[in-house]
Structures are given as structure tokens and as C-alpha cells.
Structure 1
Amino acid sequence: MATPRTRGAARAAAALAAGVLAVSLTACGGDDDGGDEDKSGGTGGTGTTVTLPRLDGESLEVAAVWTGTEQANFKKVLAEFEKRTGAKVTFVPAQDPIINFLGSKIAGGAPPDVAMLPQPGAIKQAVERNWAKPLGAGAQAELAKNYSPGWQDIGKVDGKQYGVYYKAANKSLIWYNTQVFENAGAAEPKTWDELLTTARTVYDSGVTPFSVGGADGWTLTDWFENVYLSQAGPEKYDQLAKHEIKWTDPSVKEALTTLAEIWGKKDYVAGGASGALQTEFPASVTQTFTGGDQPKAGMVYEGDFVQVNIGETKAKVGTDAKVFPFPAVGDAPPVVSGGDAAVILRDSEAAQALATFLASPDAARVQAKLGGYLSPNKSVPDSAYPNEVQREMAKALIDAGDDFRFDMSDQAPQAFGGTPGKGEWKALQDFLKNPEDVAGTQAKLEADAAAAYGN
């Protein structure tokens, strides 16, 4: 029998699915402003809702793993903070796993003031190592005003608030090249079986169905999590995320076997397994939307942030590039969320002010209008986003409230869920290479998980 939380998750999944399905059919191009003015105050849609102290002469360092357009857009948020406070903020490029990067900085006596941590597991590790500092009253007040309890809770450790989830992601989306679909006569699928049919239709038209950025192991964990959540259900998902059940559980076998229906299908992945394992995430997107109606692949799975990389091509979101929800493998389509949280490592008035700013709608509005970004901040108006695709995604995210599941690998210790060449990333890369070895993959996942979780 479904529990209230299970039923809530199913309702949220349906709401998100309906929203994205609607927008995939009706969205305009990526430069559409919808004629919808942001009436939240200020100029350029930034507005002012939070009071910040003057910090003339103060300096801050903010570390994150963001690169390219994502980094450039976040720097504009930091520039707004500088303008409002007089502080000088320097962006510090970090490497994955960010916990290891921060450890080396701290050991050298030069930690950044604030770090953007992409995993709840990383926040927990930072607290356990006495690196992270609790948020002050200002940031907590903004969180209480602007965030649902669920988004506040994933930034807490032992009931104390350490993280501000500045950035969110809907990781349950598949993007497709509309010319490819039109030429093939392919339809947007709603179930896994329909996805396999769509893939076959695209393949028969002469285009490889899927582009997979297998060089980045996190894309593969996201594939697994969507299949597992929909197929095994929310309760099993939560148990596996906490390692309360083993990776040798039959539910994991079932999910891997399902994944192999795509990963193990000859010529369904651009470049084959070896090519996918050499393809980084940005290239997996751009190769889907370059080459007109003969790209390297017709579809690419990943979250809403794919729009940033589509923007690097000539394709327009809503016309050349459309999106549908990750199809239902079980009773309901999955809704997997991710995000990045600001965590203070060097406590100061300036660091607390930046955390307060990032918890306010003011910061989010700056980046929202630039595209490729979603905020879990419910005080950010839909009109802050630059096109109908993003407005619908943002609305669906907020409307879902606390009925979502956070990225499973991001909840794990970084040694298992967030380290290149190790743990879940490496095991799934090996599985992409040899999708017949379900049992061996399960055994490796369980051994690595047991070591990382300490059980």
C-alpha cells in the first residue's frame, strides 16, 4: 500500500511531468521574454528585498567546481554582491571531489571563505571535520522566508543549519533534436517501453538514438537513479541512499538490467561504449544539437542545466531542442533533484552576508535571467526566467514542494558517490563498458559502498 509520502511523490512526479510535457509542445525560442515583466522591483529584474551591510575593504573567496558559462553567470551574482556591499569577491575554481580540494586548501592554511558544495554528503563531511560554520540569524531568516522545509533540511546536519541551497536541478529530463524526431516520425515517450520504441524509430531513420557523457561518472549515476526511483519506488530509493539495503539487492539488479536495454544495445549510444566513456558532459549535449538533422545522436539525458550547453550551439530551446520527462519505468515517472549549497568555512560578517544574499531572491534573480539555472527559492518570480521552458520548470519545482528525491549519489559519502575513477562513478562506467555483468557490478558497488559508509 502506498504511504502518504509515496503518494505525494507520485503527485509531484505527475505535476512535474505534466508541466514539462506541456512546455515541450508549446515553448518558444530561448530568447523569448514572454512579454512577462518581472515586477519584483529594481532594474533588470534584480530587485532588492534583503538589506546587506557595507563591507568596504573586506575581501572574500568563493570556491565552486563550476566552469564555462555556469561559472561566468555565477560571477555576475558575485558582482551584484560586490556592488551592494563594497566587498571584493574572488571566485576560486575547484576540482572534483571538492572535499579533497578544500582539504588541501585548509591544510595549507588558506581555505576559501565560502564553498558551493554539490552534495549533502559533502556538507556532512565538512561539519564532521570541523570545517563548516553554522549559518547566522540573517541567512536563517531568509531561508525560513523563502525556502520550503525540505530544502532547508537538506542543508542541515544534526539539526543545525549549515547550507543554503542556492541552485537546484531537475534531473529527470530527456532532451531531443526536433529535426531528428520529425524526420523519423518519432513521438515523445511517456513510459520506458515507449522510450525503447522511440529509440528504435530514431535508429531506423539513420541517427544514433542517445548521446551519453560517460567520461563524467555523475551522468551515469543520474541515469541509474531515475530508473531505480521509478522502478523500485521512493521507499527503496531512500533505503539504498542510506545504505540500509545492499547494492546486491534484487531491486538494483532489476534497475541495472533495465539500463542495459539501452546501454547494451548495439549502436544505440553515440560512439559506442568506448566513445561515450571519452565524451564529457558538455560534448554529449553539443553533439546532439549540431549537424542539423544528422547529429551524432538524437537524444541526450540530463537536467534542466542542459540549456546552458545547448546555448553554445546554434540550436534554440523550444524549437530546435525540446524536452520530455524521464519516462516512467514503474508506476510513476521519477523526479530526481540536485543542487549546490553555499557553506561558510571562514566565519565573518562578510561571509555571513554573502550566505544571506544567496538565500534571498535577489541573488537568484540575477542568475535566473541568464538561463540554465533553477532556484528552489519560492520567492523568485517565474517572470525572472528568460523563456517559457525555464518558467514552467521553475514553477513545477516550486509547486512540488517537498515531494522530491534528492540525487542519491550526492547523498552518499564522496568516496562512493562523488569521486572520479572511484566508487559508484567507476562501477557504472565499467558497467557501460560491459552491461552484461550485472552481478559483478552489484558486487563492486556493494564493496565500495560498505567501505565508504563504514558498514
Structure 2
Amino acid sequence: MTRPRTTLLTGCIALVLAIGATACGGGDDIAAGGGDKPLSGKTVSVAGVWSGTEQENFQKVLDAFGEKTGAATEFVSTGDNVSTVVGSKIEGGNAPDVVMVPQVGVLQQFAKEGWLQPLSKTTQGAVDTNFAPVWKNYGSVDGTLYGLYFKAAHKSTVWYSPDALAQAGVEAPATYDEMLEDGRTISDSGLAAFAVAGQDGWTLTDWFENIYLSQAGPDKYDALAAHELKWTDTSVVKALTTLGDLFKDEQLVAGGRRTALTTDFPGSVEKVFGPEPEAGMVYEGDFVAGVAKAEFGRAIGEDANFFPFPAVDGGEPPVVSGGDAAVVLKDGKNHEAGMALAEYLATPEAAAVWAEAGGFLSPNRKLDLATYGDDVTRATAKSLIDAGDSVRFDMSDQAPAAFGGTKGTGEWKILQDFLRDPSDPAATARQLEAAAAKAYKD
């Protein structure tokens, strides 16, 4: 049962956050730091997967919210297993007010458990105005909006060393076949084409999803993501065959498949942008830039650049995304204040705080692209915004965690086995279907 909300407090918060005008009962400008602040004395607890630099940058957003409203904030990093940690906190009577949920499947799980408060009308209005409808769809369960997507990832970007491509005499390709041909040319010039992070199974799901979305189209992508289409469908076998052709080509994979299976994601970035490059390209999301810059001192746009994941077999170029959604827990001690935080996160003002800090993309269409700190990030953000409703959320993140989000099992493990031996795509499709059928049934 949905808990009643305090109408006066909520209306006051909405007014302050939506227009930054006056505190309830006063005439001072909250944005300027004056007047009574409606959440003074309240503490908003937030849980999420972020750590390190990401946590530090999100704290800047929380600090801006605190400055605006008077609320104190505290952030707890959950690690990757958000559902287990949050579930334990709820059972222990120590539920956070807000959780930044990184997977659609987890958001749906939380909603079905009855843990979530529907987002306020203020947030719903901001989502309708500021976001493409696809983001509302991914934040909703059975027509009710529970999740506000604050941070997005663009997972259809191929990162490359401009020096490597220049040395090979190739330019950014327009099609998948051209990308592989260019990769062989790069290999002939002395570097492998791609660093593949096969030790992290999630990167292999992203490879598959981009190929499948472009090759099979968005309708089948949606059906497969919902398991309304079986993984044994011919379209899946075709996409696995396409991916397997890359894995089998020793010219294309740095160190071959065995090395790829022992390379994690940061290691794959190092093989392209580190001090001793081994490959010319690495496929992954926009967050590659953050690693290349922070760990290896690469200047984004000069030493490191990207091209969009190219179209496969005459399809449309894919735009696969991921993201973190703010949800408000019913059992939080200050869930009205948590609701106010969600309202704030829906504004371009909140997105601008992290955008200025770097390592961030926002799905908020009202955020000025000039806020981003470099041309490459602006181009990545523009590509995500321009894609509108053609964006498709990471398929494995939509699946039950047992299939799409657990190390050593499900899709991650099966695709690692496929990287090890890509000779039988149909058999791999059967394994994927068996694992998916069990996970969706459970």
C-alpha cells in the first residue's frame, strides 16, 4: 500500500526545486542561499554502485541539492550487487531513502516487491518535458513511473587511437564489414585491430547487443529482451555467427582469444591507450574516455577518439544505452525528502553539476551541450539525445540478474565460452535459451 505523502511539505519542495523562487513562508531566494530551507534538519540517504571518482562527482550533485534545500546527504556504495544489499537493508530496518539503480531488471524487481514509491507529479512532468519517452518507459512498471534516469551510458561507441588509424591509412568506417576490413589493415601495419575484454563477460553482451540491434532491428531486440522471442531464433544465431567471425580472426583480436579471456575492461583500454599499445581500437561505451584520460593521460579528441558502432548488414546504426535511475523507497526514514531529491535530479541544473565535472552523460534534453567539457563528450551526448526513441537499453540489464548480470553464470559465462570456441553459434544459442528460460521462470 502506498504511504500518504505530506502535501504541504511536498508542495513546498516542488515549488523550491521547480522554480527556485522562495522558501515556504518566506521571500528570500533559495538559489542564492538565503531564507528558510524546507529540508533543514533532514538527512537523505542514497545508495548506489558508484565508487571512486564517480562517487566523488555524484557527491557534488548531492552537495548542490543540500545547498538548495538545506538537506544533509549521505551516500553508501553498494558494489555491483545492488538488489542483495538493498534487500538486506530493508529487512534490517535501515533502508536508504533513494537508490540509484543501474539495471532495468532490478528496478522492475524492486517495484514488484512493493519497495518503491511512485515518483511525484513534479518528477513525472519533468520527465515528460525533458526526456525522450523511451526513458520514461524504462523507468516505469505497469504504467507507473518509479525510476528517474539521471546518468546514461552510450554503449555504441568504438574508441580508437588516431595515430594507429593514420599509420594504417584508414578512416572511421561506415559499416561493420568496413570496420573489420580496416581492422585487418591495422593489423598488417603492426598492431592488432581490437582489444577485447573477455574476462568481463558484460563487455561480450554489449558486443552481441549492438550487432543484434542493427542486424535484427528494434522490434526483435525488444522481443528478445523480454524473452518473448527465444534465443534459438535464427536472428540470434545469425548475430552470434557475425560476432564469432570476429572472434575467430586472429588478426582482429589482440593476443588471440586466449589473451582476450584474461583481459578485463581496464586492461582492454590499456592495450589501446597505454604506454605500450597492442591494438588500435577497443569497443565499449563512452566511459572508455574516462579511463583513457584518468589512467593514461590521453587527451580526448586528440590521443583518443571514437566513431559510432557501424551498421551491420544494411541495418540502422545501433544506439545501445545503459543508465542509473533514482528510485525512492517506501521504507526510507525520509522518503518525502528522497522524493525531493528525485525531483531535483530531473532538472538540467542537477545534470549540469556532474557534466561540468566530467565522466557523465545525461539523457535530459534540456541540458545545454556546452556544459560538457570537451567536444568528444558533447558529440557523444548529442548522439544519445538525437537517437530519441530509437535508443535501446542494454539487453542484459533488462534481464533477470541470474541470466544477464551475474559473473560466472548465465549470458556472461556462455558468451565467454563462445569467445573461447566460437565454432558452433547454434549450440551457443541453445545454451542461452536454456539459461534464459530458467531465469525468467524463476
Q: If the length of structure 2 is used for normalisation, what is the TM-score?
A: 0.87
Checking the alignment, whether the CA contact within 8 Å between 1:53 and 1:353 is kept in structure 2 is no
Segments of 4+ in structure 1 off by > 6 A? none
Checking the alignment, whether the CA contact within 8 Å between 1:307 and 1:371 is kept in structure 2 is no
Query: After the TM superposition, which residues 17-96 of structure 1 pair with which residues of structure 2 at under 5 Å, given as runs?
Result: 54-96=38-80
SS at match of 2:388: coil
| Distance in 1, Cα, partners of 2:301 & 2:406 | 34
SS at match of 2:116: coil
Checking the alignment, whether the CA contact within 8 Å between 2:31 and 2:68 is kept in structure 1 is no
1:52 Cα offset (Å): 11
Checking the alignment, whether the CA contact within 8 Å between 1:52 and 1:84 is kept in structure 2 is no
Checking the alignment, whether the CA contact within 8 Å between 1:63 and 1:115 is kept in structure 2 is yes
SS at match of 1:169: strand
Checking the alignment, whether the CA contact within 8 Å between 1:52 and 1:357 is kept in structure 2 is no
1:330 aligned to which of 310, 313, 317 = 313
SS at match of 2:62: helix
The aligned counterpart of 2:11 is none
Q: Which amino acid aligns with 1:429?
A: Q
User: How far does the alpha carbon of each residue in 1:264-323 deviate from its partner, in whole angstroms, 9 at most, with x for none?
Assistant: 2225323433333333223322331122xx502211111122221121122111111111
Checking the alignment, whether the CA contact within 8 Å between 1:230 and 1:329 is kept in structure 2 is yes
Q: Classify 1:158/1:384 alpha carbon distance in 2 versus 1 (closer, same or farther; 3 Å).
A: same
| Distance in 2, Cα, partners of 1:109 & 1:215 | 37
2:328 is the alignment partner of 1:341: no
SS at match of 2:272: coil
SS at match of 1:373: coil
Give RMSD over aligned pairs. 2.3
Q: Where does the alignment leave 5 or more consecutive residues of structure 1 unmatched?
A: 1-40, 42-46
2:345 is the alignment partner of 1:358: yes
2:420 is the alignment partner of 1:436: no
Checking the alignment, whether the CA contact within 8 Å between 1:219 and 1:281 is kept in structure 2 is yes
| Distance in 1, Cα, partners of 2:181 & 2:251 | 15
1:128 Cα offset (Å): 0.8
SS at match of 1:175: strand
Query: After the TM superposition, which residues 233-244 of structure 1 pair with which residues of structure 2 at under 5 Å, given as runs?
Result: 233-244=217-228
| Distance in 2, Cα, partners of 1:159 & 1:330 | 35
| Distance in 1, Cα, partners of 2:119 & 2:407 | 30
Of the structure 1 ranges 126-135 and 95-104, higher mean CA displacement relative to structure 2 is found in 95-104
The aligned counterpart of 1:18 is none
Checking the alignment, whether the CA contact within 8 Å between 1:70 and 1:308 is kept in structure 2 is no
Q: Classify 1:53/1:445 alpha carbon distance in 2 versus 1 (closer, same or farther; 3 Å).
A: farther
1:256 aligned to which of 237, 240, 257 = 240
User: How far does the alpha carbon of each residue in 1:241-286 deviate from its partner, in whole angstroms, 9 at most, with x for none?
Assistant: 1111111111111111111122122253234333333332233223
1:343 Cα offset (Å): 0.8
Query: After the TM superposition, which residues 385-400 of structure 1 pair with which residues of structure 2 at under 5 Å, given as runs?
Result: 385-400=372-387
1:132 Cα offset (Å): 1.6
Q: Classify 1:164/1:231 alpha carbon distance in 2 versus 1 (closer, same or farther; 3 Å).
A: same
| Distance in 2, Cα, partners of 1:296 & 1:69 | 27
Query: After the TM superposition, which residues 141-152 of structure 1 pair with which residues of structure 2 at under 5 Å, given as runs?
Result: 141-152=125-136
| Distance in 2, Cα, partners of 1:215 & 1:91 | 30
Query: After the TM superposition, which residues 108-127 of structure 1 pair with which residues of structure 2 at under 5 Å, given as runs?
Result: 108-127=92-111
The aligned counterpart of 1:451 is 438
Q: Which has the higher contact order (CA 8 A, sep 6+)?
A: 1
| Distance in 1, Cα, partners of 2:309 & 2:390 | 17
Task: Name the larger-Rg structure.
Answer: 2
Q: Which amino acid aligns with 1:285?
A: V
User: How far does the alpha carbon of each residue in 1:365-394 deviate from its partner, in whole angstroms, 9 at most, with x for none?
Assistant: 001112221111111111111111222222
1:150 Cα offset (Å): 2.1
Q: Classify 1:275/1:83 alpha carbon distance in 2 versus 1 (closer, same or farther; 3 Å).
A: farther
The aligned counterpart of 1:311 is 293
| Distance in 2, Cα, partners of 1:143 & 1:324 | 29
Checking the alignment, whether the CA contact within 8 Å between 2:272 and 2:281 is kept in structure 1 is yes
2:85 aligned to which of 101, 122, 126 = 101
| Distance in 1, Cα, partners of 2:130 & 2:37 | 20
User: How far does the alpha carbon of each residue in 1:7-60 deviate from its partner, in whole angstroms, 9 at most, with x for none?
Assistant: xxxxxxxxxxxxxxxxxxxxxxxxxxxxxxxxxx9xxxxx969x9953222222
Q: Which amino acid aligns with 1:447?
A: A
Checking the alignment, whether the CA contact within 8 Å between 2:37 and 2:70 is kept in structure 1 is no
Checking the alignment, whether the CA contact within 8 Å between 2:184 and 2:251 is kept in structure 1 is no
| Distance in 2, Cα, partners of 1:329 & 1:118 | 28
Checking the alignment, whether the CA contact within 8 Å between 2:173 and 2:310 is kept in structure 1 is yes
| Distance in 1, Cα, partners of 2:103 & 2:126 | 21
User: How far does the alpha carbon of each residue in 1:393-435 deviate from its partner, in whole angstroms, 9 at most, with x for none?
Assistant: 2223223322222211122122211122221111111111121
Q: Which amino acid aligns with 2:271?
A: Q
Checking the alignment, whether the CA contact within 8 Å between 1:368 and 1:374 is kept in structure 2 is yes
User: How far does the alpha carbon of each residue in 1:326-372 deviate from its partner, in whole angstroms, 9 at most, with x for none?
Assistant: 11112221121221101112262211111111111111000111222
Q: Which amino acid aligns with 1:425?
A: W
The aligned counterpart of 1:138 is 122
The aligned counterpart of 1:6 is none
Checking the alignment, whether the CA contact within 8 Å between 2:270 and 2:277 is kept in structure 1 is no
1:114 Cα offset (Å): 1.2
Checking the alignment, whether the CA contact within 8 Å between 1:375 and 1:394 is kept in structure 2 is yes
2:190 aligned to which of 193, 206, 209 = 206
| Distance in 1, Cα, partners of 2:286 & 2:86 | 28
SS at match of 1:109: coil
Of the structure 1 ranges 201-210 and 84-93, higher mean CA displacement relative to structure 2 is found in 84-93
Checking the alignment, whether the CA contact within 8 Å between 1:226 and 1:335 is kept in structure 2 is yes
| Distance in 2, Cα, partners of 1:214 & 1:63 | 29
Q: If the length of structure 1 is used for normalisation, what is the TM-score?
A: 0.85
